[in-house]
A and B are shown apart, each in its own frame.
Chain A
Amino acid sequence: MEGSDRGQTGVGPGSDQGQTPTRARWPIARWVLVLALLAPFSFACREPHPGIGPKVPGFMSVLPLEMRTALALTATATLAFQDKGFVPVQPGETGQETLPATPLVFVAYAFVWLALLTYVGLLWRRLARVERELADVRAKLQTRG
């Protein structure tokens, strides 16, 4: 099953059975991709000044540029990813980074370590305090007989 998932084109990693709902949604996904990819072009065709140049098609003019671009990037990345799953980089191949990933990875791992160590420390303190109080109360109970 693992081997058959990899390397298929046009089918997401979750749709290896062929008749799953994921596969049934693919035509819709492709339409979303086409519309999303067309969206930034519609902005390029937008009139630079009112009354001059071609008009923006109706529904496209509603979306701001950021939304169209985000939609296009998201749809492209999603469909490209779902085609391949996690594919390890080949020897000699270098990836091109646009946004530095190092700070994000550093913050993620630092947060995990900090959260876990803080929790363990706090838990130890709470446990020590409760057991100290318990020992005090027990001692008082014993003195009262």
Chain B
Amino acid sequence: VSQLPPLLLVIAALMFVRAPFLIDAVRYESTMGLVQKIFYFHVPAAITTFTSVFVCGIASAVYLVRRRRTADHVAVAAAELAVLFGAIVLVTGPLWARKAWGVWWTWGDARLVMTFVMWMVFVAYLLLRRFGGPGSEVLASVAGMFGMVLVPFVYWSVNYWRTIHPQTTVIRTLPPDMRGVLNWCIYAFLVLYAALLLIRARLEASRATLDDAFLALED
């Protein structure tokens, strides 16, 4: 098991090295041109964020019900990765929007605002774990579950509210060449995510063991 994260990291690295060549080779989109190529990292980052939020929410629920420390470690790891990949989404999105919509950000768009709110929930989760003191893991778990509940609202916000963000059906209607490159990038992000999740969860487990060892040393 300890060999798995480095192996996944190597696979992800190879996929990430190949990705720019594939993205460069794929055709331009007719109305947006070059800037639409941000899409090939923006969407996979968003999918990875959603995945991480779900992992955090489910692990938090398991921790709340069964009080398993492993579930808590996974939840912390997933929350941190949700913030990382969420930050990528929130930075690449406005860079694309500046060219496609003429604005960096609009507070009137449901998708943008809800994504930001969901990201803030996981920033709050991490702050709670960092400064909340003993017992904060229970409160953080509730926050993690709350964050997970937001995902469907974020995902379908483009279909149910008036918004300038592309709808979810854009992915389904992609031509095969664009779809192939997008899939490659999605797999690259997910493999990287799996590796980082395992490593980060291991870090959390090591920290817990260290705390126990310090307590044993004091006794």
A interface vs B, CB < 8 Å?
1-2, 5-6, 12-14, 16, 20-22, 25, 29, 70, 73-74, 77-78, 80-82, 84-90, 93, 95, 97, 99, 101-102, 104-105, 107-109, 111-113, 115-116, 119-120, 123, 126-127, 130-131, 133-134, 137-138, 140-141, 144
Asked if B196 CB lies within 8 Å of chain A CBs, one says: yes
- Whole-angstrom distance between the Cβ of B207 and the nearest chain A Cβ: 6
A21 with B160: CB separation less than 8 A:
yes
B173 with A5: CB separation less than 8 A:
yes
Given the complex, which residues of A lie within 8 Å of B33, measured CB to CB? 89, 95, 97, 101
A85 with B170: CB separation less than 8 A:
yes
A104 with B35: CB separation less than 8 A:
yes
Q: What 6 new A-B contacts, CB under 8 Å, besides A86-B170, A134-B206?
A: A13-B169, A21-B160, A73-B101, A101-B33, A127-B206, A137-B217
B30 with A1: CB separation less than 8 A:
no
Stretch of B62-70, B86-94, B117-125 that contacts chain A: B86-94
- Whole-angstrom distance between the Cβ of A121 and the nearest chain B Cβ: 12
Given the complex, which residues of A lie within 8 Å of B28, measured CB to CB? 88-89, 95
Can you list 20 contacts pairing A with B, beta carbon distance less than 8 Å?
A25-B162, A74-B103, A74-B164, A77-B101, A77-B102, A85-B166, A86-B29, A89-B29, A99-B98, A104-B96, A105-B95, A108-B42, A108-B91, A109-B38, A119-B196, A130-B206, A130-B210, A137-B214, A137-B217, A140-B217
Contacts A120-B9, A127-B203; is A86 near B162 (CB within 8 Å)? no
Main secondary structure of the interface of B (DSSP, over half): helix
- The 10 closest A-B CB pairs, nearest first, are A101-B35, A101-B34, A14-B167, A95-B33, A13-B169, A137-B213, A88-B27, A108-B92, A89-B30, A108-B95
A111 with B30: CB separation less than 8 A:
no
Near A by CB (< 8 A), chain B positions 164-207 give: 164, 166-170, 172-175, 177-178, 192, 196, 199-200, 202-203, 206-207
Q: Report Cα–Cα, A109/B21, bound state, in Å.
A: 13
| Range for the number of chain B residues in contact with chain A | 35 or more
Q: Report Cα–Cα, A22/B166, bound state, in Å.
A: 13
Contacts A5-B173, A82-B167, A86-B174; is A134 near B95 (CB within 8 Å)? no
Asked if B111 CB lies within 8 Å of chain A CBs, one says: no
A112 with B88: CB separation less than 8 A:
yes
> Which chain A residue lies CB-closest to B97?
A104
Asked if B132 CB lies within 8 Å of chain A CBs, one says: no
